[in-house]
Structures are given as structure tokens and as C-alpha cells.
Structure 1
Amino acid sequence: MALSLSALGRSKGIARPHGTAAGPDKGVHVATEDLVALEAQARDFGFLAKRPVDRLLAGRHSSHRRGRGLAFEELRNYLPGDDIRSIDWRVTARSGKPFVRIYDEERDRPALIVVDQRMNMFFGSRLKMKSVSAAETAALCAWRVMALGDRVGGFIFNDSDIDERVPQHSRAAVIGFAGALAKQNGELAADLEVERGTGQLDLVLEKVAAVAHHDHLVIVISDFEGHGPRTRDLLLRLTVSNDVIAMLVYDPFMLDLPEKGEIVVSGGNLQVELAMGHGKVRSGITDFAKRHGDALLAWQQELGLPMLLVSAAEETAPQLRRTLGQLAWRQRRR
């Protein structure tokens, strides 16, 4: 679908995807039933554990903590404080020194899905709004986690509210998560006046860090607008003892700007008209987008944080199968 510059002006800088045969709201907002229906498409992808293992997410995962589970890890010398029940008496008798058998405790890995529904996500130039792509990505991940045997919950946030959902393993819980997500998504509108603070992303990550002390799967779905040093520090804190995946939702408009015409952009109450035929305007927008993207993708190397791209100009489910499949392939080669 081609970008309509006049639609940009009418919508205060929000590029709205054109209506389709499915209805004028298709791609602009998403309903609970749309997110529930994605259960059928939540297949053929998984989430790898942080440590190398022989399988994808399958409901139970090797923990970072030691315990008396089913997966044997090593045989070593007895140390003061070891549980005497772990002593291998046969090896001890043969060697004359006490040895213990160490196991990896197998545990459920609850998932926390963090979904951005701030006003900055209400932008889309071709197929759908970034907010819709984020909501679909979250629903697909939630359905997949539940199908593979783990509990799922998360945080849905906009410019003023944060809705926390405690991890549970049930269809009802995922449907409730989808309903809360659709509610915040439906509140987004071009004429919505909000206080656009810069700290909401960090605030929700602080709440996530307070819950995910260890052995969680944390999936952050956002365009990461307003990120800064604090955002980086919080993500680093989460990656120390959890499996963290960041999904960067973007719209290709910034990568392929129109060569002529005017657009109206808005940061809330203030609106500015930009002449796209002006070279300095185009290069300024392009440079900003490139700096933003480069800074986020650098976290991949700096923090060891997978940063997966989700385009609002493509269908969501095929992208997830492709990008998460590539992530699994890369981690297996390490």
C-alpha cells in the first residue's frame, strides 16, 4: 500500500495504513478476537535457553541454580556444605575420597512479555501500525510459550499506565492478556493528547527487574523510543540471570522517505510541517533514524542481547518464524 501524504496531514503526523476489504480499521487497531485467533499461527518457533542445551523451549529448562533434578551434570570432590545425599558411595569407595554427583535442577521458566503501546507506536505507513505489530507479536509469543508448557504473563504499557499480568499457564490467562492488550491498543488515536514523558520505558523495565530475579524469559517488544543509559543498565541487569530477547518494531517509512510533498509531524500539542523535497530535512530524518537503529543494534554485541527486527510493513507470524529460527541457528553454532 502506498503512503498517503494527505493522510499524514489529517492525522497530525500519524501515517495511517489505508483501509482494506477487511474494514477501514484493519491495521490501525486490533481486537481481542484477532489476538486470540493468532493461537493457530503460533507454531514452528521457539526460544532458546541462555546456556547451550540440546532442545528449544519445551516447558522445562535447565536452571542456573544447582539441585537434585534429573539432568546429571558432573562428578566432583565433596565440599563442606554439600548435601550428603548427593555423595556417590561407589566412586567414594573406589577412590578413598568423598565424591558427589551434581545435577541441574529442571524448572519451569516463566515468561514476561513487555509490550509498548505508547503514542509513538501509533505510526504505520503501509500495512499496519507499529502498535498493532507489537500487539500481534506479543500474542504470538504468549500463545507459543503456553503451548510449550510454561507460564506466561507480562507488562502492557502506554504513556501513562502499566498493566501487570502475573505469569499463569492457562488459555484463560492468555485471553485475558490479549484483552488487556487490545484495550490499550484501542485507546490510541491520532487526536489523543498525552503527556509524552521520556521515562515510561525505563519505569516498566524497573518493574520487570523487580519481578524477574532469575530464570525468566523476558521479551521486550517496542520501538525503544526514549531509550538511554538507564535503559541499557536495566537490560544488562535483566540479562545477568534471565533469558532476554528484544524485538525492535519499526516502520520502513524512515528508511525510504518520499522525495516530495509535505508531512505534518506531532509530538503531542506541537505540530511541525516538514517539506520532504528539502535535502536537509530528508537527511536530518534519515540520520536520526540511523543513529537510533545503530545504538539499539549495538546492544546485541555490548550486552549479548538478541535484538530482532519486526517490520510493521509485513505480516507478523512469518517474521517471527524467520527471525526466531535464525536466532536458534546462530545460538546452536556457538
Structure 2
Amino acid sequence: MLNANLLRTIRRIEYRTRRLVTSSFTGAYRSRYRGQGMSFVSVRPYVPGDDIRAIDWKITARTSIPHIRQYVAERELSLMILIDGSASLMFGTQERQKREYAAELGAILAYSAIFNNDKAGIMIFTDHLEHYVAPAKGRKHILRLLQDLLTYTPKGTNTDLGAALRTANRVLPQHSIIIMLSDFLVPPENYAKELAIVAQRHDVAAIMLTDPMEEVIPSVGLLHVQDSETGDVHLVDTASKKWQKAFAQQRTTLQTARDDAFKRAGVPTVALSQDADYIPTLIRFFGQSVGKQS
């Protein structure tokens, strides 16, 4: 049974995501995953965010209203959203945790898939598979996904993205869509091999969740800092230039190694910070990153 507060939250997110995916965002999603190599079925008025390559110029000239050509996929697509449920996602300085941010993004992606007549499923992982819902269609299914995204409490605290990718590769049909939602605050050795293998069989993309405080820790003197995944607590002097330099270098090293791993695997990435409007960034990302076609 859903309590009143949870039901209100689900309805609010459902309303917002439905409004977004039926306007600009759905065009970007369609552009990436349904753009070329499809069977033509009809034309319809242009919606902001649609792929301009699909514009039917003859009908546009005749009616003075932009129209695009619609296509039907020759295969049914399955979207699997891999969501990092580790303890580091419980961090947040923008009135919500990164885990809540991931839930909202997951809802938008799932709605976009189902709006385009694709299947959508979720996989929540920590250092093991926490929760799995197989891809399916329909409003009841999307409401179940949304409820699970908002209410499931992972039992693990660490991160094993490599294991999650192996599982997705095993259970999904070839040429599925896999979108990862994580802060990727683990060494790429944890997942680089599996990422390269999965990217050869599926259309993979990564959404990197960040919080402003993770980029720059303010100089506030002595501070107890706890590693959310290991539980280790350290006393650090944030006013120390030496410590600030070491912190920045450590983060740069991790980001560089991470970016290299994704580049070698040919997997497009986008970073989304909690203090910014993510919709324009996602529209550009999906519009510019053309996925593989079967």
C-alpha cells in the first residue's frame, strides 16, 4: 500500500516526466534510438527536440508548418536503466540526495522509452544485484518502476558496476539500450573490461551524477569526513593548501582514468550536476550521440 506522501510524490514526478517526454525530450530520445534505418509510416508536425534530419521539406514547404517523417522500428527496443544504489549516492547538498536525483532521471528515461513504444526495466545494484525489474510496457509497469525507484532501500554500501554489467549482458537481448546512472566514484578497473564487452553487444550510455560539494570542498578548517561506502572517518584540515591540492589531484586522476575507460569502450557520457537544469543537457546529449543500429 502507498502512503499519502509517497503517492503525492509519484503523481508529481509522473506529471512532470510525462510533460517533459511529450515535449522536447522525447524528440531527443527518438533521434538517438529511432532515427535512421527504420520503415517510414507517416508524417507529423515538428516538435522541439526532434531530429531535424527527419524533416519532410516538401510537406513543410506546402503547409508552411514544419513536419517530420515518422518511422517504425524494425525491432522492438528494450531499455535497461542501471542505477547505482551504493552509499555514495546518499550524498547531496542541493535539498536532495543523488539517489533521489537518479530516481527522477530514471523515471524520465523509462517514460521516454514507453512513450516511444519500447520496453523499460530497472536494475539497482551495489556490490551485488539489489533489485531487478525486467523490461516491459504499459502505465501500470511504469508506475511500478517509479515506485521501486523511490522506495527501494539497498542493503549493500559498496559498488560493483562490473558485476551489474555482466548481469545485464546475460539477461538482455542483443542490441538493447543500457543507460547507467552513477557517480562512478570507483576505480575504472572495477568495470572497464565488462564495459568494453557490453558495448560490443548493446547500445550503452553513461549519465554521471555529481554534486557541487564533490568538486570543491570549501576551506572551513578541521572537518571529519566519512567514506560513505567503507565507513572510515578521517579528520582533515580543509584550510590546508597541501590537502586541497591533493584532493583536487586525486579527483582529477580518477576522472581522467574513468573518461579514458569510456572512450576506449566507445561509450558516450554526460555529467549532470544537481545544481543545474538537466533537461537541456540531456536533449543535447541524446541528439548528438547517435546510437548503433542493428
Query: Do they fold alike, i.e. is TM over 0.5?
Result: yes
Number of equivalences: 248
Structure number with greater Rg is 1
Q: Is the 8 A contact 1:140 1:317 kept in 2?
A: no
Establish whether residue 229 from structure 1 lines up as the match of residue 207 from structure 2.
no
Displacement after TM superposition at 1:209 (Å): 1.1
- 2-structure distance, mates of 1:201, 1:300: 13
Counterpart among 13, 26, 32 of residue 35 in structure 1: 13
Give the deviation of 1:315 after TM superposition: 3.4
Q: Secondary structure at the match of 1:215?
A: coil
Secondary structure in 1 matching 2:77: coil
Q: Give the aligned residue type for 1:151.
A: K
Pair 1:161–1:106, CA change in 2 (3 A):
closer
CA distance in 2, matches of 1:237, 1:122: 29
Distance across 2 between alignment mates of 1:36 and 1:159: 30
Aligned partner of 1:110 in structure 2 is 78
Partner of 2:253: 291
Sort the Cα spacing of 1:139 and 1:308 in 2 relative to 1 into closer, same or farther, 3 A.
same
Candidates 9, 12, 33, aligned match of 1:57: 33
Tell me, in whole angstroms, the C-alpha distance in 2 between the residues paired with 1:195 and 1:111: 24
In the alignment, which of 131, 138, 143 is matched to residue 170 of structure 1? 138
Equivalent position of 2:53 in the other structure = none
Distance 2:18 2:256 in 1: 33
Deviations 1:265-322 (A, max 9, x none): 2135432222210112211221121112112222343111101111122233343224
2:171 paired residue number? 211
Counterpart Cα distance in 2 of 1:244 and 1:290: 24
How much does 1:122 deviate? 1.2
Aligned with 2:273 (options 308, 311, 323): 311
TM-score (norm 2): 0.74
Q: Which runs of 5+ in 1 are unaligned?
A: 1-24, 49-54, 64-69, 72-104, 189-193
Instruction: Sort the Cα spacing of 1:223 and 1:148 in 2 relative to 1 into closer, same or farther, 3 A.
Output: same
The question of whether the paired residues in 1 share the 8 Å contact of 2:162 and 2:192 is answered with: no
What secondary structure is seen at the aligned counterpart in 2 of 1:234? helix
The structural deviation recorded for 1:183 is 1.1
Alpha-carbon separation, structure 1, partners of 2:208 and 2:234: 26
Residue 132 in structure 1 maps to residue 100 in structure 2: yes
- Which amino acid in the other structure matches residue 256 of structure 1? V
Q: Which residue of 1 aligns with 2:241?
A: 279
Q: CA deviation at 1:166?
A: 0.9
1:34–1:226 CA distance, 2 compared to 1 (3 A): farther
User: 2 CA distance for matches of 1:47 and 1:236?
Assistant: 23
Change (3 A) 1:266 1:56: closer
The correspondence of residues 1-334 of structure 1 with structure 2, limited to 5 A, is 31-37=9-15, 38-42=17-21, 43-45=23-25, 46-47=28-29, 56-58=32-34, 106-158=74-126, 162-184=130-152, 187=153, 196-198=157-159, 200-267=160-227, 268-327=230-289
The amino acid across from 1:206 in the alignment is R
Cα RMSD, aligned residues only:
3.0
Question: CA 1:311–1:202 in 2, change beyond 3 Å: closer, same or farther?
Answer: same
TM-score, normalising length from structure 1? 0.66
Is the 1:61–1:107 Cα contact (8 Å) retained in structure 2?
Answer: no
Secondary structure, aligned partner of 1:289: helix
More helix per residue: 1 or 2? 2
Q: Counterpart of 2:33 in 1: which secondary structure? A: coil
2:148 partner amino acid? A
